[in-house]
Amino acid sequence: MYKFSKTIFILFFFFLIANCGGNFFKPADVKDVPVNVQDRVEKNVEEGRGIRFGKGKGKGGVFDFASSNELWRATVDTLDFVPLINASYSGGIIITDWFNGDVTDQNQSRDLKITVKFLSNEIRSDAIDVDIHERICGEQQFNCKVGLIDSKISNDIKIAILKKAAFFEKNKIDKISKKNKKKRFKKSD
């Protein structure tokens, strides 16, 4: 039985290989094949030899490097007094760890957490959303209440971030204009 199944497998294998011949590998003439990769891809798609998912020419999401985004840099710089738990540039969010928020009552502890959501890369007042969460715990740290608070601090942090981002943007523009002046000056020599 083993020899019979082995023989059938070998015959089936040779049958498959024999059917792969023919026009499977066509010799190509250099004048018929474009040199540029993009031209080759377009030609293959037109002839039905390629697969293109989506619209084809469209690019994916734009993720500038975080170091070149002034709003992101300003936020990280402004929140440098507290450790960050999550800083997702592509997700557009920064979340700090809980930090001591000082409470006058000795029997309670108050901790704060700051969340900054990026709604745009542009430096404007509606580009970021700053939320502050408060955690108030009793003496034993078991009975804690956590909630979103609306305080002046969130607006102060937002203004500080926007001011710093505007400063970074101005410095970037100044550097670019200085480079362009140097290039124009060298060309005129």
Residue 126 belongs to domain with CATH number = 3.30.530
d(CA 120, CA 81): 24
**Which pLDDT belongs to residue 60?**
47
Rg value, the chain, Cα: 31
Q: Which amino acid is at 69?
A: N
Taking 50 as the pLDDT cut, the residues of the chain under it are 52, 56-60, 64
Query: Is 25 inside any structural domain?
Result: no
Give how many domains the chain has, as a whole number: 1
Q: In 10 A of CB 95, how many CB atoms? A: 17
| Confidence (pTM) | 0.59
The torsion angles phi and psi of 134, rounded to 5 degrees, stand at: -120, 135
Query: Is 7 inside any structural domain?
Result: no
Query: Is 154 inside any structural domain?
Result: yes
Query: Is 130 inside any structural domain?
Result: yes
List of E strands, the chain: 84-88, 93-96, 99-100, 109-118, 128-137, 144-149
**Which pLDDT belongs to residue 84?**
92
Query: Is 35 inside any structural domain?
Result: no
* Domain hosting residue 110, numbered range: 66-188
